[in-house]
Amino acid sequence: MKNAKVMTGLLCAAAAAMMLGGAASAEETKTLRVAMECGYAPYNWTQGTDENGAVPIADSSEYAYGYDVMMAKHICEELGYDLEIVKLDWDSLVPAVQSGTVDCVIAGQSITSERLEMVDFTEPYYYASIITLTKADSEYADAAGVADLSGATCTSQLNTVWYDVCLPQIPDANILPAQESAPAMLVALDADKCDIVVTDMPTGMAACVAYPDFKLLDFTGSEDDFEVSEEEINIGISLQKGNTELLDAINSVLSEMTVEDYEEMMNEAISVQPLSDAE
């Protein structure tokens, strides 16, 4: 009888341990898989160490950092998630969200109606104005509006509002094929393959740090600025359609942030970007 009681006690203890183990498993921390190019400073870039709080890139010995990584870290800290950064090329980002390969994309994506047909977006996590980059000694260096860019040889990044919407507004523009990435676009300008590139303010500011002979032209507020809709300059986080749980969770974090918070974070990203990133 004594042995039977001991055995019963052991079985009860084992059952309790299994129940506790099951409860612990059910409460495992969620990992948020976030995709980005890791090559689009100051939004995101690749570096060799975890300096400044950079995050390891999945299946790589390298690290990712920049505004998008900073935002992803903040979201995960607020929601109690672990963070995993997945490095993908620009054209693979939306398909990765659609297939569920990643949970979301934080990569400087504009919230366009075309993308909204494929994925859902959070509220904006940055508002990016459109600017033009040229060389300081270029014939376009003193341009005060889009009309002053007339005849320029130009390019920008593939599948962006900069290339698809802005460049065609330049009179008599010689539009070169789109570049696969933002760094490639900047290299084209640096190598004098074009006169100008059109991009957004953060990318332009970061480029001027990496390339001191670049000049940033901002037509904002003038009567001859590029004509773009709000949807084309509002930057959001994309998720798989119907994933309302994650959408609401991320929006709950963004709703507590201000435009000033975004600008402060972006300025920090620009200040620590590796200059070699755009080379």
Task: Indicate the helix (H) or strand (E) that contains 5.
Answer: helix 2-26
Question: Would you call 41 helix, strand, or coil by DSSP?
Answer: coil
| Token reading at 159 | 């599948």
CA 77 to chain CA centroid, nearest Å: 18
Q: Using only C-alpha atoms, what is the Rg of the chain? A: 23
Q: Which of 32, 51, 53, 44 is nearest to 104 (CA)?
A: 32
Query: pLDDT digit of tens for each residue in the chain (279 aa)?
Result: 444 444 445 445 444 444 445 444 446 889 999 999 999 889 999 999 999 999 999 999 999 999 999 999 999 999 999 999 999 999 999 999 999 999 999 999 989 888 999 999 999 999 888 999 999 999 999 999 999 999 999 999 998 899 999 999 999 999 999 999 889 999 999 999 999 999 999 999 999 998 999 999 999 999 999 999 877 789 999 999 999 999 999 999 999 999 999 999 999 999 998 864 433
- Report the alpha-carbon distance of residue 41 to residue 153 in Å, rounded: 24
Q: For the chain, which domains are there?
A: 31-127+234-278 (3.40.190.10), 130-230 (3.40.190.10)
